[in-house]
Chain A
Amino acid sequence: MITERYQRHSLIDWFSQEEVRSSKFAIVGCGAVGNEVAKNLALLGVGHIDLFDFDTIEIHNLTRSVLFRENDVGKNKAEVAAERVKELDPNVHVRSYFGDFWDQLSLTQAKSYDCIICCVDNFEARIKLNQLCLITKTNLINTGIDSKLSQIEVFPFQSGSHVACYECNLPFSAYERMQQRYSCGWLKKISYIEKKIPTTIITSSLTGALAASHALNLIRDQSMNDAKRILIDSFTGRSTVSTIEQGCSCPGCSSLGDLVSVVTAKASIESNLQLACFDYDDHFTSSEPILVSIRCIECHPGLDDCKVIFENASDFDSTIAICNECGKETVEVSIRDSFSFSELADKYTGFDLPCKFVRYDADNRTTIIEME
């Protein structure tokens, strides 16, 4: 039965169903492009597909989402996509993860994939996924569309540390645009309306096909050494293929050591301090900015009179700048992502590290401590 299903594939000289069957992919973002990639990988007969999305299906998604139906409105995108993938090919092992991939996808799990395909709709998630793939040396395919153009970017991180990453060519304006979501550094704005980019099934299906094709290339051809971008104009069929150059001052990869090691620890600061892989004077960077303390400069003018918070800054919005006592917007907020281990021991024992991982660099070696 299984052999008959893939009989046409077996006639293709370059196609190894066994290789495809033993491959494992993750799709992050199950919107229009994520649907197409999942559908293609399922029909190709890949062994494992993991689907990540925090979002629910809305009626306007149905013009671009091959796996969703009207009855699915209100349901989680990843769960519905997983059910439909199972219907397309019951031999595919498919799992769905409902929630933010940053919380759900551990570094160990990220490393287990042949390739992660990024089908999200914002810069921030792309940068975070790029970080996970860089650290774990997992191949990454980034996708993007508008109403006319299709684009994929292939980052074969498995092939070595010389490969350009997603941030190497990201223009400065993208960082400025990302910051528009926040005020005071990393506090979410209370009301921020994200610009919606209109797309059609034409560009999403074109992109999904390209992404699936290159995902297969990555398992078939281990000699792919350079990052590349393919941009196709769906109106004219014209395409531009370019090699993505590594940026020497890239915020994503330039400071990453040649040797990257990952260890896990409990989130408590005491547990982290027990690790013997650093000196107390070493500085580390947290994967997310931490809201360290707050102080109303009118009610508590003394510099030492601050309230320690030590939680993930993205859990707060800009209303924290309004003082609970005087009602004025006079609260000074301290948000940081760099600390020394001795500072942790002196000031913050008893707290958990409110981030996915911390990173410290020494002697061209990067150590990542992932919170359990």
Chain B
Amino acid sequence: MAEVNIIIRTADQTRKAEVSLDTSNTGADVIQASVDNWSLPTDTDYSVVCTTSGKTLTPNSTLGDNGINDGDILEVQPVLVAG
């Protein structure tokens, strides 16, 4: 299984980490790990954007499906509901 070294950060950039992840991990896995490790609010939903390519990661697609490479930055963004 291939691994990629990437940076994961929150949208406000108050949290950032360099991690090695298997390319079979999905966007949902990245979100779960971020919520767990950074104690992000659990009453909020999140999505992931690769800021390097400028594309969102669909929830069930893997890092490999999305062509995530070493050095890419994944941003965990809250899904905003208020209007």
Contacts and interface: CB of A to CB of B under 8 A. Distances in A.
Contacts of B49: 229, 240, 242
Contacts of B64: none
A243 B49 CA distance: 9
B63 interface: no
A144 B11 CA distance: 14
Given A121-B81, A144-B82, A149-B80, A249 B60 contact: yes
B12 A233 contact: yes
Interface in A1-51: 29, 31-34
B5 interface: no
A279 to B, nearest CB: 34
B80 A245 contact: no
B8 interface: no
A31 B11 CA distance: 25
A199 B11 contact: no
Contacts of A144: 79-83
Nearest to A144: B80
> What's the interface size class on A, roughly?
35 or more
Contact of B11 (A171, A195, A233): A233
A252 to B, nearest CB: 12
Given A170-B59, A171-B47, A34 B83 contact: yes
B13 interface: yes
B57 interface: yes
A372 to B, nearest CB: 30
Interface of A: 29, 31-34, 118-123, 143-146, 148-151, 168-174, 177, 195, 197, 199, 229, 231, 233, 235-236, 238, 240-250
5 contacts: A233-B12, A236-B13, A245-B56, A246-B58, A250-B58
Interface of B: 11-13, 28, 31, 43, 45-47, 49-51, 54-61, 66, 75, 77-83
